[in-house]
């Protein structure tokens, strides 16, 4: 590997990011930013690459803009996926070799209580509210590169974790680290889960958007997971299909738009359907139209949420959103010349709510994501909608 000139990269970060970002110092004094860079330059010659990258990530995260973040390299990971439920962080997917760990709570990583691990990981997460932090922590927790760079683990080849079962019995497990490009979650997911028993929001993970009509409940469910066209279907064509289906099917008594897993993209793509819906009086009613949001509702998906809030009579359910209503966005990238690290930064400010301090879009009816619902394949939001008269 060629030697990286970290001093040059840090000088570039200090010089260029304040000029490129829409308003870099909206949340902290400029001196704080420059002082942290100067202190890192004093130490950088005696640090390993993992720790250096984590230090840069902490400097950028301290800006307080969820759209401005270091695109962290990810090479080594733990052989499982996890989720932060109301009851704690649980393993939701793993390899056959470790299937006895499935649905266990993670309580310790290499001797560090999970609360301390979360605290350290939170320093490298660019977040504006607790919902988005909850969204991001699981993906960081499984990254061995980050754990090593933050001195949470002492070596990168294997990781010792402590898990707890439903009877509150704990045990230690030594897990091998695997490469990200060797991790095949789709195949594992299909084998581990009884697909037909899954709630709708956990199905069709490979699709950006899809819909399904529940004839028994007379509900049309629309899952909009990503504000982006698919290779085989555009959002425009999908929207046309939806309007035709709704207009031709009088049995549709309720309409659900699920944005809880939508991290953004292009907010304009779904606009035609939302405009049509705003004037479709048969379903544009508070007892007919429902929108589900959550911790992963972010960026363009949040813009879509506010459009529906302002232009329809929808009732909103779920969790507070990961996206902050008044926020910076419309991202571009800065590449640090020597290391090649990418810094994503905001170029525009969005003001969606009159309350400048509102941390999240707050749903009308809140439903925390509970492990006991997950394990029983229950979607409390959809259940509430279909049971409500």
Q: Report the CATH number that the domain containing residue 10 is assigned in CATH.
A: 2.30.42.10
How far from chain centre, in Å, is Cα 340?
Answer: 24
Q: Which residues constitute the domain of residue 339? A: 1-192+329-349
Instruction: Indicate the average pLDDT of the chain.
Output: 95
The sign of the CA dihedral 348, 352, 356, 358 is negative
The predicted pLDDT at position 193 comes to 60
Assess whether 163 and 30 both reside in one domain: yes
CA–CA gap between residue 319 and residue 368 (Å, rounded): 6
What element of type H or E holds 262?
Answer: none
Cα–Cα distances in angstroms (integers) from residue 3 to residues 44, 145, 338, 370, in the given order = 13, 19, 9, 47
The predicted pLDDT at position 298 comes to 97
Domains identified in the chain, total number: 2
pTM over 0.85: yes
103: left (phi over 0), alpha (psi -120 to 50) or beta: left
Flag whether 280 is in a domain. Answer: yes
The predicted pLDDT at position 191 comes to 57
Assess whether 244 and 374 both reside in one domain: yes
Assess whether 184 and 277 both reside in one domain: no
CATH number of the domain encompassing residue 216: 3.90.226.10
Dig out the tokens for 81 from the structure.
């996926």
The two beta strands, 219-224 and 254-258, are parallel
How far from chain centre, in Å, is Cα 307?
Answer: 21
Assess whether 59 and 206 both reside in one domain: no
- Report residue 50: phi and psi, to 5°: -60, -45
What b/e readout covers 203-225, taking b as 16+ CB neighbours within 10 angstroms? eeeeebbbbeeeeeeebbbbbbb
The predicted pLDDT at position 190 comes to 54
pLDDT in tens, 160-193: 999 999 999 999 999 999 999 999 877 666 555 6
Name the pLDDT band for 381 (thresholds 50, 70, 90).
very high
Assess whether 229 and 242 both reside in one domain: yes
Mean pLDDT of 237-265: 97
Flag whether 354 is in a domain. Answer: no
CA–CA gap between residue 174 and residue 110 (Å, rounded): 9
Q: What proportion of the chain, given as a percentage, has pLDDT over 70?
A: 97
- Report residue 184: phi and psi, to 5°: -120, 80
The predicted pLDDT at position 185 comes to 78
Assess whether 17 and 153 both reside in one domain: yes
Assess whether 289 and 303 both reside in one domain: yes
Tell me: pLDDT of 264 over 60: yes
pLDDT in tens, 83-103: 999 999 999 999 989 999 999
Tell me: pLDDT of 389 over 60: no
pLDDT in tens, 320-374: 999 999 999 999 999 999 999 999 999 999 999 999 889 999 999 999 999 999 9
Name the pLDDT band for 275 (thresholds 50, 70, 90).
very high
Mean pLDDT of 42-64: 97
Mean pLDDT of 128-141: 98
Q: What proportion of the chain, given as a percentage, has pLDDT over 90?
A: 93
Tell me: pLDDT of 72 over 90: yes
The predicted pLDDT at position 197 comes to 82
The predicted pLDDT at position 206 comes to 87
Assess whether 129 and 243 both reside in one domain: no
Entry field: residues in the chain? 389
Contacts 24+ apart (CB under 8 A), 384-388: 384/317, 385/219, 385/254, 385/256, 385/290, 385/317, 386/214, 386/217, 386/219, 386/254, 388/287
Assess whether 145 and 205 both reside in one domain: no
Tell me: pLDDT of 1 over 70: no
Flag whether 141 is in a domain. Answer: yes
CA–CA gap between residue 198 and residue 214 (Å, rounded): 15
Assess whether 92 and 125 both reside in one domain: yes
Q: Which of 293, 259, 260, 287 is nearest to 273 (CA)?
A: 259
Assess whether 16 and 161 both reside in one domain: yes
359 in Cβ contact with 320 (< 8 Å): yes
Sequence-ordered strand ranges (E) for 33-189: 69-71, 76-77, 80-85, 88-94, 105-109, 112-113, 158-164, 170-176, 178-179
Assess whether 88 and 9 both reside in one domain: yes
Mean pLDDT of 1-26: 95
Name the pLDDT band for 23 (thresholds 50, 70, 90).
very high
Flag whether 389 is in a domain. Answer: no
């Amino acid at each position: 590997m060629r030697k990286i000139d970290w001093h040059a990269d840090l000088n570039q970060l200090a010089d260029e990011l304040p000029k490129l970002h829409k308003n870099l110092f909206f949340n902290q004094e400029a001196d704080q930013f420059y002082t942290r860079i100067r202190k890192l330059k004093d130490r950088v010659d005696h640090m390993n690459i993992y720790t250096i990258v984590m230090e840069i990530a902490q400097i950028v995260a301290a800006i307080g803009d969820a759209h401005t973040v270091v695109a962290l390299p990810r090479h080594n990971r733990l052989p499982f996926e996890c989720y932060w439920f109301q009851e704690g962080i649980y393993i939701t997917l793993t390899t056959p070799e470790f299937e006895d760990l499935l649905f266990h709570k993670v309580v310790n990583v290499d001797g560090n209580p999970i609360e301390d691990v979360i605290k350290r990981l939170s320093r490298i997460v660019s977040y504006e509210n607790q919902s988005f932090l909850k969204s991001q922590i699981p993906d960081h927790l499984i990254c061995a590169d980050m754990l090593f760079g933050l001195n949470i683990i002492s070596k990168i080849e294997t990781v010792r974790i402590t898990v707890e079962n439903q009877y509150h019995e704990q045990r230690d497990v030594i897990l091998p680290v695997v490469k990200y490009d060797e991790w095949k979650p789709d195949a594992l997911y299909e084998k581990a889960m009884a697909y037909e028993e899954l709630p709708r929001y956990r199905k069709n993970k490979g699709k950006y958007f899809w819909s399904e009509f529940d004839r028994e409940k007379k509900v049309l469910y629309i899952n909009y997971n990503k504000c982006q066209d698919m290779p085989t279907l555009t959002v425009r064509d999908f929207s046309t299909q939806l309007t035709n289906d709704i207009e031709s099917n009088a049995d549709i008594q309720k309409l659900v738009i699920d944005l809880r897993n939508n991290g953004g993209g292009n907010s304009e793509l779904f606009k035609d359907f939302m405009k049509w819906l705003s004037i479709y009086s048969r379903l544009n009613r508070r007892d007919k139209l429902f929108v589900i949001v959550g911790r992963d509702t972010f960026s363009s998906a949040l813009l879509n949420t506010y459009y529906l809030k302002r232009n329809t009579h929808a009732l909103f359910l779920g969790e507070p959103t990961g996206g902050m209503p008044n926020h910076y966005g419309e991202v571009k990238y800065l590449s640090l010349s020597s290391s090649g690290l990418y810094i994503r930064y905001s170029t525009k400010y969005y003001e969606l709510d009159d309350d400048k301090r509102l941390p999240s879009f707050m749903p009308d009816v809140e439903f925390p994501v509970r492990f006991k619902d997950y394990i029983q394949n229950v979607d409390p939001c959809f259940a509430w909608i279909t049971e409500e008269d």
